[in-house]
Amino acid sequence: MGREPPSQSQMSYTVEQLVAVNPYNPDILPDLENYVNEQVASQTYSLDANLCLLRLYQFEPERMSTQIVARILIKALMAMPAPDFSLCLFLIPERVQMDEQFKTLIVLSHYLETAKFRQFWDEAAKNRHLLEVVPGFEQAIQEYAVHVLSLTYQTVPRSVVAEAVNIEGVSLDKFIEQHAGWTVEGKSGLVSLPRNEFNNPELRRTSGAQSIPLDRITRIFPVLS
């Protein structure tokens, strides 16, 4: 999620710094709330700042804004495959999670976690009002789908890709084109994905982990000298 426009970097730097210096200071709560809105507007993301805010809400539940929490959770969904959504839920009291909009987000997360993309996109379409507040949502989920497909397949039917990213026809061709190394294999309707160590474990073996960190080697310096 590194789409950070340069004009915003000044601002984000200071809030991140605020969190680093005052991780347990209730006074920064309004700044953190503004920062969530800022992340939404500028399509940036800071898990640490958001966890810090959820922590302050956890300490002072009466100050919690469900609107802000919803935005944090949507942002966390967009960070898949990282477990950020769970990390946030761990900090949100159960009675708050009973709220309709949070229930919906939990269902959406479940579909993503279990790779049920068809159900996910159906459910997302029904809840557009909730999700469209956060620009870049669709693209972020599509990238997650691309990640899971890339872990799993060397070649995959076009229809499976279409379902996972929720794009069809010419747009899908464009989507495939935009991803480096993705090619459609002639008539078979198969999409060939670039090889990586996860869909082609042979690569892992040769990339051999025979490197030793320097600080381990320093242990034998006295012997060598």
Partner 1 sequence: MSSGGYEYEDGLQSSIDGGISYDPSFVPDPVKSFVVHLYRHIREKNVYEIHQMYETSFHTLSDRMFKDTPWPSVEAVAQYVDNDHVFCLLYREMWYRHLYARLSPTLKQRIDSWDNYCSLFQVVLHGVVNMQLPNQWLWDMVDEFVYQFQSFCQYRAKMKSKTEQEIALLRQHDQAWNVYGVLNFLQALMEKSSIIQILQQEKEGLEQFTATDGYDYSGGSNVLKVLGYFSMVGLLRVHCLLGDYQTGLKCLLPIDISQQGVYTSVIGSHITTIYHYGFANLMLRRYVEAIREFNKILVYIFKTKQYHQKSPQYEQILKKNEQMYALLTICLSLCPQVKLVDENVNAQLREKYGEKMSRMQRYDDESFALYDELFSYACPKFITPSAPSYDEPLVNYNQDAYRLQLKLFLYEVKQQQQLSVVRTFLKVYSTISLEKLASYMEVDEPTLRTILMTYKHKTHSVGADGKTISNADIDFYIDSDLIHVVESKTPKLYGDYFLRQIVKLEAVIGDMDRVKLE
Residues that bind partner 1 (CB under 8 A): 23-26, 47-48, 51-52, 55, 58-61, 81-83, 86-87, 89-91, 93-94, 110, 113-118, 148-149, 151-156, 160, 188, 190, 197-201, 204-205, 208-212, 215-217, 219-220, 222-223
Give SS3 for 116. Answer: coil
Nearer to partner 1, 41 or 217 (CB): 217
Write b or e for each residue in 100-120: b if 16 or more Cβ atoms lie within 10 A of its Cβ, otherwise e.
ebbebbeebbebbeeeebeeb
As measured in angstroms, the least distance from the Cβ of 15 to partner 1 is 16
As measured in angstroms, the least distance from the Cβ of 37 to partner 1 is 22
Nearer to partner 1, 55 or 128 (CB): 55
**Phi-psi region at 195: left, alpha or beta (left = phi > 0; alpha = psi -120 to 50):** beta
Nearer to partner 1, 127 or 199 (CB): 199
Whether the Cβ atoms of residue 107 and residue 113 lie closer than 8 Å to each other: no
As measured in angstroms, the least distance from the Cβ of 214 to partner 1 is 10
CA distance 221 to 215: 10
Preceding omega of 81 cis (within 30 degrees of 0): yes
Nearer to partner 1, 122 or 197 (CB): 197
